[in-house]
Amino acid sequence: MIWNQDLAQLEIICKQLYEATDPAQRLQAEKALIELTESPECLSKCQLLLERGTDLDTVGGISVCPECSLDSQSLTSYAQLLAATCLTKLVTRVNPLPLQQRIDVRNYILNYLASCPKLEPFVIQALVHLIAKITKMGWFEVRKDKLAFREVIADVTKFLQGSVEHCIIGVMILAELTQEMNMADSTRPLSKQRRTATSFRDVCLREIFTLACTLLREVLAKPLNFQDQTQHSLVMHLLKLVLNCLSFDFIGNSADESTDDLCTVQIPTNWRAVLLDMSTLQLYFDLYHSIPPSLSPLALSCLAQLASVRRSLFSNTERVTFLTRLMKGIQRILENPQVMT
């Protein structure tokens, strides 16, 4: 009963934190959040906030209180968001959780998302962000002679093979991780951040990009119904994933904003085969003409990045072929101005 009383009080704090208009009430709720984050019971309480209202049992090596299913109707999206926020603070503080606990938390959140794919979008985003943070910060950590957080695509495969809702979550994980790996972190040395980003680029990025292209082709091959919000959301997140891949700081020059190379996409040489396949470029022109105006700016942004690929990636003949296909695609867009409205 004590646990349930504590959780009920936390849920009230959540409502105050995200809905209160009284500054004093919000300040009190923020102080309670800080106290929760610093409490030795933070991890357990976050688990229980997520578990309330679900039918999940022990997941990812983390035990669940048998009372957590009581009062399931009191579970709110705000409580789930609070739990995700607190867990993110736990794994990113100066002295983070031990490696095994971080592995357990990550596995738990992956299983939680797989079991609850219809959470509120802002809750899913917060949990996806947590997974990305854990993965990035532990990228070089080893457990039992194995890198603990490198099986990124394998972890997401079960989502991509599931329902549309599951597939969206899988794509969101990849998009958030790609963006997170590309961002500077003020709490970590720049050299370590660059080393992590470079390793991610070499190990995962090309495969993530080709996977996103494959999924977009599969979507385009089926009858499109963008009145279906899930299909609309899937294409949107896939295009954001592609854009994150193509906007990646491939050579680490973002720190020097004066360089002319910032206008050029420095695609690695081992991506040549992907870019020389003209179906890759054509895919985004076809998508542009097939998707609603709400999504077409994303397709255009992907095309702009592809048009900015470094010249040295191609031979002279290859570049002529690439530019010819690009110009024909642009001409078709300009000949159909109604598509741009």
> Given pLDDT bands bounded at 50, 70 and 90, which one contains residue 261?
low
Whether residue 26 is predicted with pLDDT greater than 60 in this model: the reply is yes
Note the pLDDT tens digit of each residue in 157-192: 999 999 999 999 999 999 999 999 999 877 778 888
Lowest mean pLDDT among 7-11, 89-93, 335-339: 335-339
Give the whole-angstrom CA distance, residue 23 versus residue 99: 38
pLDDT of residue 121: 92
Whether residue 105 is predicted with pLDDT greater than 90 in this model: the reply is yes
SS3 category, 149: coil
What tokens does 197 get? 């980003």
SS3 category, 174: helix
Nearest to 176 by CA among 193, 196, 152: 152
Nearest to 113 by CA among 103, 96, 98, 125: 125
pLDDT of residue 40: 84
Read off the DSSP letter of residue 147: E
* Residue 236, burial from CB neighbour count under 10 angstroms (0-12, 13-18, 19+): middle
Asked if residues 250 and 197 have their Cβ atoms less than 8 Å apart, the reply is: no
Output 257 or 161, whichever has higher pLDDT: 161
What phi and psi values does residue 143 have, to the nearest 5 degrees? -135, 125
Give the whole-angstrom CA distance, residue 39 versus residue 42: 5
Which residues are CB-neighbours of 233 under 8 A, at least 6 positions away? 168
Q: The pTM is what?
A: 0.88
Whether residue 316 is predicted with pLDDT greater than 90 in this model: the reply is yes
Read off the DSSP letter of residue 224: P
